[in-house]
Structure 1
Amino acid sequence: MGLAPLLAAAALATCPAAPVEHGENAAASTLGTASSWIAAGQGAHRLTGRLYSYDETLGDGRVREAPGLVVYAGRPNKIAWLPRQWSGTGPFLVIEGRRLDGSGAFRGRYRRAVSPQFYPSGVTIPTPGCWRLTLRTGRLRWTLHVLAVEPPGEARCDTTSVRSGRNPVDGTFTRWVAATPAASVITAALSLHVPGIEGAAIYVGGRAPDGSNTKVLWLARGNGMPLRLWWTRLDGPETFQQILNAAGGVTGAYPSIPVVPTPGCWLLRVRVDGRGGVIVLRALAP
């Protein structure tokens, strides 16, 4: 892991930022494709925030590897807010932010959309630091925290680390890549690492320079449900998806040969058995 994620982790140690989830969420799924999300409140009073613009920042290790929500200061963050129950809500959601480790405050007011029903918002944290957000609508109120950092001068592609040692799902593999967060226990072996390249990488077109297939074996704890992958190029428009079934008689092993169309920086979002994680890698020309 590079220095930047470690610095972000140190800042988060004193800022109780809301955990970012990458797995299934019934509320967030009503708005379409897979995305990361945060939540505030408990039970019937829970509020889910679907992070629409979060993916484009996941090439930054400070964002991806942090245990809580990290956003770029001064940049708008598109978040769709969905209360678990709409009873007691009003036509507007008010978001007030106050910086906890310095001076600063902001306020935004967002009208509820009706079909589907949610509160669309564009939240801009003005300056770097730890911020407390208070969200109010009708008679309901929630609080959560977020860490804002300086945006990079250009888009980053901090690739996921390649790990050594026994794989936590199948110890016969000793070189592998783990999805973030590690608690998802979703890993990939074989062709997601390339000799001489630091971090996760794969050759485009489904073949390596020696003519072999780019086989990727996904290893995940669970009950053998299908594993879904969303591939998104972070520095280009390309996307594609995969749905993998467990290998016959081997629970938790999902063989695949992804055919990545173009070189570049790619985000993989992976889900299985309700859990989820993300990986960033470089796709290379053979």
Structure 2
Amino acid sequence: MPTTHPSPGGHFLQLQPDIPIPATCPVNPVYAGSLGKSGLEDVPWIRADPPSSQVTAFLFFVEPNYRQTNTYQPLHTGGRYPDGSRSTKILWILDASNSPDTATITGVKVSSPQETFQQTFSLAGSTTPGANYPSIVNVPTPGCWQIQFNGAASIIFWVTGN
């Protein structure tokens, strides 16, 4: 599990969570700023560890007011936010050749490693470069979660719940 995260090159704004995150949960930083992916210029994102995995998660669940607040709401349990206004949509992009037809994410709760979940998503056709895997991530319980992408990359999220 990573404890520090290198800053990506370029001019990117690091967003802060809008609630306190326990120090025991070393979440991956969330950034705003274009990575040159058509149609995704205004969508905050996270680079997975290790960077050589070439996996980026575009966080469609972040509300547009991040531009004014420089903050984001953490991922929520159950695939939706309580107000019903948005889902926990993440577009996973793998910038590698020979991409598989499906991608599997496996979540492991950091404080309780026996608590896990798994979801599989299909490759979607897109004009955006890279292999695109749209998802609604359905984390079962709140807390600190390490989500692995195809067993080769991981991102640590703080997840809130009702």
Normalised by the size of structure 1, how large is the TM-score? Answer: 0.41
Letter paired with 1:73: T
The aligned counterpart of 1:93 is 103
Q: Distance in 2 between matches of 1:127 and 1:142?
A: 22
Aligned counterparts of 1:32 and 1:132: Cα–Cα separation in 2: 24
Matched, 1:18 2:28: yes
- Encode CA deviations 1:50-104: one digit per residue, 9 max, x unaligned: 111222695xx8x926xxx82122234111111122x242100000111111352
RMSD after superposition? 2.8
Unmatched 5+ residue regions in structure 1? 152-286
Q: Look at both structures and tell me which one has the larger radius of gyration over its CA atoms.
A: 1
Query: Partner residue of 1:81?
Result: 92
Deviation at residue 32 of structure 1 after TM alignment? 4.1
Q: Partners of 1:96 and 1:39 in 2: how far apart?
A: 17
Matches within 5 A, 1:228-267: none
Residue of 4, 20, 26 corresponding to 1:8: 20
Counterpart residue number, 2:84: none
* Percent identity of equivalent pairs: 25
- TM-score, with length taken from structure 2: 0.69
Counterparts of 1:1-286 in structure 2, within 5 Å, are 5=18, 8-9=20-21, 11=22, 13-26=23-36, 29-40=37-48, 41-43=50-52, 45-55=53-63, 64=71, 70-74=74-78, 75=80, 76-85=87-96, 87-102=97-112, 104-116=115-127, 117-136=131-150, 141-151=152-162
Report the number of matched residues. 133
AA paired with 2:77? A
User: Residue deviations 1:23-64, cap 9 Å, x none?
Assistant: 2212xx223451100111324x32111111222695xx8x92
The structure where helix makes up a greater share of residues is 1
Give distance in 2, aligned partners of 1:23 and 1:32.
Answer: 9
User: Relative contact order (C-alpha < 8 Å, sep 6+): which is higher?
Assistant: 2
Cα distance, 1:16 vs structure 2: 1.3
Matching residue's letter, 2:146: R
Cα 1:57–1:126 shift into 2, 3 Å: farther
Query: Match for residue 211 of structure 1?
Result: none
- Segments of structure 2 that go 5 or more residues without pairing to the other structure are 1-16, 81-86
Distance 1:19 1:93 in 2: 22
